Amino acid sequence: MTYDRLVCANCAAPVSEGRCPVCRANRERLQQEGFFAGLNPMALIALLAVLIAAVALLAHQTA
């Protein structure tokens, strides 16, 4: 994430320094977005693996 380059509209300091509540709220939100952006591909792969396993199991049972 490039949020450490963002300047706060409230206190005009870098958001990454967290000098005011607006900075801290923005920093927290951006960090969570970064976390979920990293998590989602892994979650999708896991979901796909479960789906393939379920289909394979179903095909095996009906065959």
Question: Which residues of this chain interact with Zn ion, rule CB under 5 A?
Answer: 8, 10-11, 20, 22-23
Q: Which is nearer to Zn ion, 1 or 11 (CB)?
A: 11
Q: How far apart are CA 12 and CA 32, in angstroms?
A: 22
- Closest alpha carbon to 29 in 12, 39, 15: 15
Chain position whose Cβ is nearest to Zn ion: 8
- Closest alpha carbon to 4 in 22, 30, 25: 30
- Least distance in angstroms from the C-beta of 31 to Zn ion: 15
- Least distance in angstroms from the C-beta of 28 to Zn ion: 13
- Least distance in angstroms from the C-beta of 15 to Zn ion: 7
